[in-house]
Homo-oligomer: A and B are copies of this chain.
Amino acid sequence: MTLSLSEVLEQIGQRAAAASRILSQTTTAEKNKALLAIARRIEQETETILAANEADLRAGSGRGLSAAMLDRARLDPKRIRTIANSVREVVDLTDPTGEVLKEWGRPNGLKISKRRVPIGVIGIIYESRPNVTSDAASLCLKTGNAVILRGGSETIRSNLALVEAISEGCKEVGLPEYSVQLVPSTERAAVTLMAQLDRYIHLIIPRGGRSLIEAVTSAARMPVIKHFDGVCAAYVDRVADLRMAEQIVVNAKCQRPGVCNAIETMLVHEAIARDFLPACANTLWERGVELRGDLLTQEILGSKVVPATEEDWRTEYLDLILAVKTVGSLEEAVEHIETYGSHHSDVIITEDAVIAQKFLNQVDSAAVFWNASTRFNDGAEFGFGAEIGISTDRLHARGPMGLEELTSYKYLVEGKGQIRG
């Protein structure tokens, strides 16, 4: 008898719920033992995983996937060692569960303790790279959560082989084999069905393109934490150190242009535009960056600047393109960011502490920087040890999501027979 897709998901949900109850009562030492066993299993199963990956790549190139996509999907012995070592690194991270967040007494003698606990069952929907499979699994395991993964169709065989190794690792140390499960279907309907599974799944994290996130957000009945666009800006103030400004702008644009915390817009105070723009533009041009500017920028930099349209101010290029606008004041810079930005990561470069504090307070973004590259909005750079992504939402988790953001809390209340009058 074959189960329908919705029956498969129901079964996965039930198994995850059962696993989650056990994981929530598992000690840190046991979870760490599981992580080590998982890393070992992944290495032991290198050949099986590579064979599965080979089949994924063959199917992908048959379906005409681009070379870049195939490369993202490709595993080799070295990448598998890296994957296993990433799992091992999670052992050294502090397990946040069990932490007492707050403790207080009430006049009636009740003792209340707010304790950090796992969320329960987490669903993660992602595309392409198979290392997300093991990274997400190990972070969820470390925090006592069961996880249901739904990876991209390009790597379904690789992911199944990886999850098989992970399950074996769990079983080996006596943890539930269904602690980590992969939805074994490439059908688009699986995403919608998963998003409706609020009986079992407490949180869904979609990681991928806009259409995937939109589909999950529309369908989901449980909380969703999105990892959306970064339309990030650098504002070069009138009292900026112009050399520092150039370094930060170049780093935030060029160091890795395809990521969410790279800048897409540069705002320059009019008073220093003629001093700052020519040199900075030359450096950016040398790095292959296309500049799209407003009228004053065009006037200062000449015809090499592409005239910017309204659309440029709100575009996440994820590419070597930078929109440039001159502004007359801090207020205008903040107004621009609040109107067109995506509340992700923004920076002011200034030597004036009062101006800087205004910017830090008024710009409503997950991370607001003063004299540092926006590229530092990142779990590892913040010292979180690992991250499941950078949340563009405002509830529960905002900015880098580390282990603490994979937990909830509960209240434990001790009394001596108190009743309410």
Contacts and interface: CB of A to CB of B under 8 A. Distances in A.
A202 B366 contact: no
Contact of A419 (B119, B373, B382, B408): B373
A104 B384 CA distance: 12
Nearest to A361: B25
A364 B21 contact: yes
A415 B381 CA distance: 13
B408 A248 contact: no
A63 interface: no
Interface in A385-421: 393-396, 398-399, 408-420
Number of copies: 2
B395 A106 contact: no
B419 A410 contact: no
Interface in A225-275: 241, 244, 247-248, 250-252, 255
B25 A369 contact: no
Contact of A362 (B25, B120, B250, B414): B25
Contact of A241 (B366, B417, B418): B417
Contacts of A247: 417, 419
Contacts of A373: 415, 418-420
Interface in A356-379: 356, 360-362, 364-373, 375-377
Contacts of A366: 410-411
Contacts of A202: 394-395
Residues of A in contact with B, size category: 35 or more
B420 A251 contact: yes
Interface stretch (A46-54, A74-82, A157-165, A216-224): A216-224
A398 B394 contact: no
A360 B412 contact: yes
Contacts of A324: none
A338 interface: yes
Given A217-B221, A251-B419, A412 B368 contact: yes
A62 interface: no
Nearest to A367: B411
A192 interface: no
Contacts of A371: 414-418
B420 A375 contact: yes
A383 interface: yes
Given A371-B417, A376-B418, 19 more contacts: A21-B364, A24-B364, A25-B361, A110-B372, A112-B383, A203-B394, A218-B221, A223-B224, A244-B417, A247-B419, A368-B412, A368-B413, A369-B413, A369-B414, A371-B415, A373-B419, A375-B420, A376-B413, A395-B396
Nearest to A421: B255
B375 A419 contact: yes
A99 B360 CA distance: 14
